Amino acid sequence: MGGKILVLLLCCLMAQPAFAGKKGKNRREPLFGKEYAAYTVTSSSLKGATFYLVSGHGGPDPGCIGKYRGRELHEDEYAYDIVLRLGRELLKRGAKVHFIIQDAKDGIRNAAVLNNSKRETCMGKAIPLNQVARLQQRCDAINRLYRKDKSKYKRAVFIHVDSRARGKQTDTYFYYALGSRYGKRLAQKIRQTFKAKYDRHQPNRGFEGTVSERNLFVLRKSVPVAVFLEVGNIQNARDQKRLVIADNRQALANWITLAIEKDYAGR
């Protein structure tokens, strides 16, 4: 009986949203792991905004799998690491953040190859293997929270990693729900930010990431304005650098945050 109570308590604690607090306030979020759990609210640029962050797959489903120096790269682990980094940046700017997919052990990690596990839950609940049930579960979690949150600016961000032929290099690309004016605006701002960063840091490279309307299940079934990112091709050696280099995962989080700040300022 005592074990059941402990498990229930852990699930309840993990299901709580992360609150940033006032500027200058020191906070902790255990999901970030020991090294990154502590953070300081450095600005109020996103005060009053609420976010629902969702990393693709998880639990019994690792998503797509790539090969890197004889080892496997699992989509769910990299999407989760980027989501945690993004959430931490949003919190530092005064936002309220819900982490829809959670892992009680794996916080933000700096390793190149992130070991796979099946511990991920949907806010404390086991993730089904069935695809439709899995996607519906996270949409239901988002929508329950959405109805309770009082914020006027509420956004869902879904992060995935694509899988294509090894020779197909892709830039990060962005989807929004059918007919979603504000989803399109946010997706475009993220794309513009990514392009500006590439133009600055790799001026001869260019950026070909696209923004398009898609009738994806999670975009169709979740209530908040949403954007869906595919951050690269897990099979491609060049795209893998976007994943296996920790600083690159952090850069993705930083750039998304910067774009969100611009979108929020123009609301």
CB 232 within 8 A of CB 242: yes
CB 186 within 8 A of CB 227: yes
Alpha helix (H) residue ranges in the chain: 2-14, 75-92, 131-148, 181-201, 217-221, 237-244, 246-265
pLDDT at residue number 4: 38
pLDDT at residue number 136: 98
Residues of the chain with pLDDT under 70: 1-22
* CA Rg value for the chain: 18
pLDDT at residue number 16: 58
Segment 128-140, tens digit of pLDDT: 999 999 999 999 9
> Long-range contacts: 9-14, Cβ < 8 Å, 24+?
10/104, 10/124, 11/121, 11/123, 11/124, 11/125, 12/124, 14/102, 14/104, 14/121, 14/123, 14/124
- The candidate with the shortest Cα–Cα distance to 126, out of 221, 11, 30, is 11
What tokens appear for 186 in the block? Answer: 């946010």
pLDDT at residue number 204: 84
Q: Which domains does the chain have, with CATH numbers?
A: 2-265 (3.40.630.40)
CB 54 within 8 A of CB 216: no
The number of residues making up the chain comes to 267
pLDDT at residue number 8: 34
pLDDT at residue number 3: 42
pLDDT at residue number 25: 85
- Pair type for strands 49-55 and 153-162: parallel
Segment 14-23, tens digit of pLDDT: 455 666 566 7
pLDDT at residue number 267: 81
